[in-house]
A and B are shown apart, each in its own frame.
Chain A
Amino acid sequence: MNIRIRYIPIILITLLAMSYLFVQTKSIDINKHNQLINHFAQFMLIDSRLNQNILEVRQVILTSYDSTVGKTNQLHKLLAEIKFILKNTQPKHIGNFTPLIESAIKSLDVKENNIENFKSINSIFTNSLRYLPTATNQLSEKLPLDTQGDVVTLLLTEQLRDILIYNYSNDKVILDKLNETNKLLTTIFKKNYPNLLNELASLQAHTKVIIHNKQKIDRVVSDILTTPSAKKTNDILALYISIYNQKMKQVNFYQKILYSLLIGLLLYVAYILSRLNKTGRILQKTINDLKYQKSAIDQHAIVSILDTNGCIQYANDKFCHISGYEFNELINQSYTITKASLHPNSADHSFSKALTHNEIWHGNIRHKNKSNGHYWTDTTLVPFMNDDNKPYQYVVIQTDVTDIFNATEKLHLQSAALEAAANGIVITDKSAKILWVNSAFTKMTGYTLDDTTNKTPKLLNSGKQTKSFYKDMWDTILNGQSWHGELINKRKDGSLYSEEQSISPVIDNTGKISHFISIKHDITQRQMIEEALRRSQKLDAVGQLSGGIAHDFNNQLGINLGYLDLVKASLKNEPTLSRYIDISIKSASRCVELTRQLLSFSSKHSAETSSINLNRLLKDQELIIAKSITPEIKIKYVLHEPLWTTKINSGDFQDSILNTVINARDAMGNDGTLTLTTQNINISTDNLNKPAGDFILVSITDTGTGMDKKTLDHIFEPFFTTKAQGKGTGLGMSMVYGFAKRSGGFVDINSELGTGTSINIYLPRFISEPCETPETNESKTCPTGTENILIVDDEPSLLRLTEKNLQSLGYQTFLANNAQEAIDILSKEKNIQLIFSDVVMPGNMNGYQLIKQALTEYPNLKALLTSGHTKDSSQKEMPLNFSVAQLKKPYNIFELATHIREALDQD
C-alpha cells in the first residue's frame, strides 16, 4: 500500500517524461523523410536521364524527342512536392529552404527553355546536315565536266567534308576555311555559273544553317548539362540532411534517455512484481490466519453478520445450534428473530441504537430460541465501515453465558440465603481478618459489616474462655480441619451470649488455606429449650409415677368395688345397708374416675385421634380444671347440645384447655369468672380471614388483664412468656396453636386490656358414627355361658373376685397366679375354651407372651387380656401382629360378661 502511494507520482512523472521523449523521437516522420529522400533521388535520376537523353539525341542514338516529353514537368512536380513536404516537416527552417527551392525552380525553367531551344536547333541543324551531301551532289552534277567544273566540284566536296568534320569539332581554322570557301564559291559561281547561282544559294543557306547552329547547339547542350537545377536541388538536400542529422542527434539522445527510462521502469515493474509476489504470499498467509481465526471464533463464539437493515446475512453453526434455527431459516431474517424482549428495555434500545449510530456495542442480551426457550449471550456488535465511513455490515459475536447467568442467579440466591440464614456467618481471610458477615451475625452480635471491616473475631472475645481453648481451636483449623465448640462471647453492647460455633477452613486450588468460614448459632434460646425439656421430662416422670400409683390404686378400687357388688347382692333384703353400700360403691366409682383422669394426663404423647364429643370430654376434665384454678374464681360452662363431633387427640385437647385455663387463672389473679363455651359454627367462604367450613368452637374467656398488641403478636411463639422467670415455660400457647393446626383447625384471640381475653379454638367437624356413651349396667342383662375359662392374675383378691363373677354367670373357672401356673393348668385341663389373663405380671412372662405361647400350643383356645394401664401405653409392649381383645381395668360385671362372651364367640 505504502509503496504504491509513495512511488505513483514518480512513475507518473516518468511516464510523462517518456511520453514527451517518445513524441520528440517521433518528431522526425520517417515516412515523410523517406518520401523526401525518394523525391530527391527521383529528381536526380530524372534530371540525369534528361541530360543523357539530350546527349543521345545529339548523337542521334535517339531518333525522337519523346523521352524528353514531360520530364521537366515531372521535375517541377517533384520540386513542388519537396517544397510541400519541407514546409510541413521543417516549418522552422522553411525560410532557409525557400530561396534554394525558388532558385532550383528558376534554374529548372532555364533548363526547360534550353531543352526546347535544343530540340528546335537540333532539328534544323540535323535536317540541313542530312540534306547537305544531297544538295552538294545535285549541284556538282550540274557543273560542266571541265577543269573549272572539277575544281568547283572539288571545292564543294571539300566544303562538305569540312562541315562534317566541323560537326564533330569546334575547330576555328575549319570554320574560317569554311567561310573562305563559301565566299570563294560565291565569287566563282557569280563569275562562271550565274545560272547555278540560285542552286548554290540554296546549298549555302543550309551550310550557313549548319555553321550558324553548330555553335548554338553546342552552347545549348552545354547550358543544359550545366544548368544548376540539379546542384540547387542538391543544396536543398544537403541543407535538409544537415538539419536532419542535427535533429537525429537530438532524437538519438532522447532515445537513449527513453531506453534507459524504459529499462528503469521495467526493473521497477520487476521489483514491484517481486514485491507483489511477496505481498501475495503474506496476504495468503494472512488470509489463512484469518480463516483459522474465523474458524477459531466459530468454534468458540456465536457469530452472525447483519446487513445495514439488521437482516442476518451470515450465521455460524453455533448460532444455528443455540437458536435452534436452520441456516436457511435465518438468512435475510431480521436479527429480532431471536429477540426475547425480556431483558430491560434499555438493553434492547441501546442495541438497536448501536445499529443506527454505528458504534461498537457490548452487553448481555437474553434471546429466545426457536422452541421459545431462552438463552443469554454476552454480545459484541462491531460495525464494519467502508471508505465513506458508513457501515456496510455488522458483525455480532456472542458468547453463550446462559450457564453463567443461571449460576449467578443461583449464587445470588445462595448469597441471599446466606444473608437470610438464621445462623450468623463470618468469612475471614487466612489471617482471620473479617471479610464478610451476614445480617444474622449483626442481629446476634450488634456488629454491622462496616463495624467488622479490617477487624478479627477477637472483638467478640469475652475473656470467658482460656488461652489454651483458643490455641486448641487455632491448631485444629490451621491443620485444615473443622472446629466445633461452644463459647461465650460479648455483644457490641457488652452483654454476653452463648454461641455454638463451627469454623471450616476453605482450601484453595493450591491446597492451602485461603479463607475461614465461621457459622455461629446463638444457643441462649436452645439452652432455654433444654431447660424447658428438662422440666417437662420431670413432669413426665411425675406423670409416670402417678400413672403407676393410679394403676395399683385402680386394682385396689376394683377389688373394693367387686366385693361391694357382692355385698350388695347378698344384702338385697336389708334396704338400709343396701343404701350404705350404694353410697360406698358410688364413692369408689368416683375414685376410679379420678385415677382414670390422672392416667390420661400422664399419657399425653399419644398421637392417636378419635372421633369425640367435646362436651363429654370437657365434663370428664371438669375436676382437673376445677383443681387447676384458685377457688375464688367462678367457672361457668356454656355447652351447646347437640354438639358436632370432631376427630382429635383427646389428650392434646385436654392439655390445650388446661394450659389456657392456667393462663386465664394467671391473668385474673384471685377474682373473676372463667367461662368455657362450646358451640357449632359454620364459617362461610365470604370470610376471608378464616378457612371456610363447619367447626366446633371452644372458647375460654376470662375477665383478666387482657393483652396489648405487642404481646398478641408474639403470643404463639415458643418460649414467649410474660410471666416471671421460672413461673412459665412459654410453651403453653404455642402448644395450643400447634394442636389446633394439627387437628385441621385454628386459633384466634380476642383480647382487650383491662377487660379480659377470649381464646377461641376452632376444631373441624367430623361426620361419623359418634362413639356411643356407655350404658349403665343396671339397664342391661349380662350375657352368660357354661364354657371353661382359665383366669390368670397376680392379684389374688382380684383373681377370686373374677372367679366369683364368672361362676355367677354360669362359667366353669380355673385359676392361675402367674404364667407358668397357667401353662401347667392348660397342659392338664384339655377342655379349657378361654384364657383370661392380666397383662402385667411378675415373672419371666407377661400376659402377651403367655397368650402367644398358649395360642401356639392350643390353636382352638380363645383369649382375653386385661390391663390397668391405658390401651396405648400397654400396646407399646405388645408384639406386632398380635390381636387379642383387651378389657380395661377396673371393670364391672357387665363389662366382664360382655367381653368374655365376645371373646368366646369369636371365630
Chain B
Amino acid sequence: MIKLFFILYFFLSYSVALSDNSASLNLRYEPIQPLTQPHGLNIEKVKLGKKLFNDPRLSHNNNLSCASCHNLQTNGADTHPLAIGRNNITLNTNTLTVFNSSLNHQQFWDGRAHTLEQQIDFVLHSEKEFYSDWNQVIDKLNQDKTLRQQFKKVYNDGITANSIRNAIATFERTLITSNSRFDQYLLGDTDAINAQEKKGYRLFKSYGCVACHQGKNIGGNMFMKLGLFGNYYSQKNNQYLGRYNVTKNANDLFVFRVPSLRLVTLTPPYFHDGSIKTLTEAIQIMAKYQLGRSIKEQHINDIIAFLKTLPGDYLGESLYEKAHKKNKRKQ
C-alpha cells in the first residue's frame, strides 16, 4: 500500500514538474499574455445586456443601437475611416472594436471614459450619436412589459440608468476573443503558429513594438503621444487633439490610448482618424514616428503574418476565418 502511494506520489510530482518546465516559465516573461474567458458574470444580466446592445430605443430616434457601429458579426466595429453617427453625421474618430474592450484601461481614443459603464453615457448623450437621455430611455423601456419583468428579475430597482449601464457593460465583458492561434502558442502549443509567424513575433518584440502593444490585449492599457520622432501632424489636415480634449494639458496634445492589436488585421482602416488603409503603411508610420527607425519590408510581412494569428473566436467561431470567408464571398 505504502509502496503504491509512493509510486503515485512520484508520478504526480514528476508530471507537474514537467508541465511547469515546458510552458509557464516562458509565458511568465512574455509581454503578450493569452486572453481568458471571463467568469462569474450573471448570465441573466448578460442576456439583458445583449438585448439592450441591439436595442435602438436607447437612441433618440430609435434608429441607432450600440450594434449599429459595433457589428459583432464582423469585427465589433465598422469599416468606415471615421464613425458615422445619427443623421449620417461623421464623428471625429475611427470606430474602435467592442471586442476585448473590457481589457482597455480607459475607453475611447482619448480615454474620456474610465469604464465601459461610463462609455455608454457619452454615446447616449452625444448630440452626434444617440442624442438621448436616461429619462427618455427609461420611459421607453418601461413601456416594454416583458423587458420590465426581465429587469425586475435581475435588478431590484428595475429599469434604471445604472441597471441599463451595468447590463450592457456586463454583456460587453463577455466579448473576449480567446483561443487564438497565438494564444494557443503562448499556452504551450508550439505548432500553433508557423515559423514566419514566430519570426514576426520575435521582430515585433525586437523592433520595440511591444513597448506599447503589450499585455493581453496587445495595447489598450496606456496612453502614448503620436509622433515621438518627428511631427506626424504636420502632414495632416484632421487635427484631432487626443487626450488634450480631456485633460486640457499641453503635454497631452496628440496623446491617444494605445489601440489593441488583437483584431488589428480585421479592423482597417487604421489610426484614430482611419486615415491609413493598410497594415504595412501603418507599421511603417509607427516605426518612423514612434520607434524612430525603419523596418524592412520583409520584416513587415513577417510582423503582419504574426498579427494575423491574434484574432480569436467569438461564439466558438474564429473571427479571422469568418472574415476570410466573407472576403472570399465578396470576391
Contact = CB atoms under 8 A, between A and B. Distances in A.
B208 A131 contact: yes
A124 B228 contact: yes
Contacts of B105: 65, 68-70
23 contacts: A63-B29, A63-B210, A64-B31, A64-B32, A64-B214, A64-B216, A64-B221, A65-B105, A65-B214, A66-B214, A66-B216, A66-B221, A70-B105, A76-B114, A119-B221, A119-B223, A120-B224, A123-B224, A126-B211, A128-B292, A131-B291, A202-B292, A209-B292
Contacts of A123: 211-212, 222, 224
Given A63-B210, A64-B31, A202 B293 contact: yes
B103 interface: yes
Nearest to B228: A124
Nearest to B105: A69
B221 A69 contact: yes
A808 to B, nearest CB: 170
Contact of A120 (B208, B214, B216, B225): B225
Nearest to A71: B105
Given A64-B221, A68-B105, A124 B30 contact: no
A411 to B, nearest CB: 98
Interface in A198-229: 202, 205-206, 209
Given A70-B105, A130-B208, A64 B33 contact: yes
Nearest to B243: A116
Given A66-B33, A131-B293, A205-B292, A73 B115 contact: yes
A135 B207 CA distance: 12
A127 B103 contact: no
A897 to B, nearest CB: 161
Most A CB atoms within 10 A — which of B115, B222, B223, B229? B222
B215 interface: yes
Interface string B99-136: 00001110000000011000000000000000000000
A507 to B, nearest CB: 108
A66 B33 CA distance: 9
Contacts of A65: 105, 214-215, 221-222
A130 B206 CA distance: 8
A119 B224 CA distance: 8
B16 to A, nearest CB: 24
B186 interface: no
Nearest to A135: B293
A116 B29 contact: no
Contacts of A128: 292
B255 interface: yes
Given A63-B29, A131-B292, 11 more contacts: A64-B32, A64-B33, A64-B214, A65-B215, A65-B222, A66-B221, A124-B224, A127-B211, A127-B290, A130-B208, A131-B208
Q: Which 8 residue pairs spanning A and B have beta carbons closest together?
A: A63-B31, A64-B215, A66-B215, A119-B222, A64-B214, A127-B208, A127-B211, A69-B105
Given A69-B105, A131-B293, A202-B293, A63 B222 contact: no
Contacts of A131: 208, 291-293
B167 to A, nearest CB: 19
A67 B157 CA distance: 34
B215 A69 contact: yes
Contacts of A64: 31-33, 214-216, 221
A205 B255 CA distance: 20
A69 B228 CA distance: 24
Most B CB atoms within 10 A — which of A70, A116, A119? A116
Interface of B: 29-33, 103-105, 114-115, 208, 210-212, 214-217, 221-225, 228-229, 247, 255, 290-293
Most A CB atoms within 10 A — which of B104, B210, B211, B215? B211
A202 B216 CA distance: 32
Contacts of B216: 64, 66
A779 B104 CA distance: 191
A65 B228 CA distance: 20
A70 B293 CA distance: 33
Contacts of B292: 128, 131, 202, 205-206, 209
B257 to A, nearest CB: 10
Contacts of A124: 211, 224, 228
Nearest to B29: A63
Nearest to A122: B211
A506 to B, nearest CB: 108
A235 to B, nearest CB: 25
A205 B292 CA distance: 8
B100 to A, nearest CB: 12
Given A116-B223, A123-B224, A205-B229, A69 B103 contact: yes
B223 A120 contact: yes
B66 to A, nearest CB: 21
Most A CB atoms within 10 A — which of B30, B221, B225? B221
Given A64-B33, A69-B105, A202-B293, A116 B208 contact: no
Nearest to B258: A123
Interface in A178-209: 202, 205-206, 209
A130 B115 CA distance: 33
Contacts of B115: 73
A202 B104 CA distance: 33
A69 B111 CA distance: 13
Nearest to B212: A123
A123 B214 CA distance: 10
Contacts of A127: 208, 211, 290-291
A69 B114 CA distance: 10
Nearest to A138: B293
A116 B208 CA distance: 19
Most A CB atoms within 10 A — which of B105, B114, B217, B255? B105
B31 A68 contact: no
B291 A116 contact: no
Most B CB atoms within 10 A — which of A68, A120, A126, A130? A120
Contacts of B290: 127
Contacts of B223: 116, 119-120
Interface string A109-151: 0000100100110011011101100010000000000000000
B89 to A, nearest CB: 31
Most B CB atoms within 10 A — which of A119, A127, A130? A127
Nearest to B31: A63
Nearest to A112: B114
A783 to B, nearest CB: 159
B211 A63 contact: no
B222 A120 contact: yes
Nearest to A76: B114
Contacts of A119: 221-223
Contacts of B222: 65, 116, 119-120, 123
A659 B221 CA distance: 174
Interface string A665-688: 000000000000000000000000
A65 B211 CA distance: 10
Contacts of B114: 73, 76
Nearest to B249: A113
A69 B112 CA distance: 15
Contacts of B211: 123-124, 126-127, 130
A63 B224 contact: no
Interface in A79-108: none
A66 B214 CA distance: 8
A123 B224 CA distance: 9
A708 to B, nearest CB: 132
A198 to B, nearest CB: 12
A63 B27 CA distance: 10
Contacts of A63: 29-31, 210, 214
Nearest to B251: A117
A158 B324 CA distance: 52
Nearest to A128: B292
A116 B223 CA distance: 6
Nearest to B255: A120
A584 B33 CA distance: 204
Contacts of A126: 208, 211
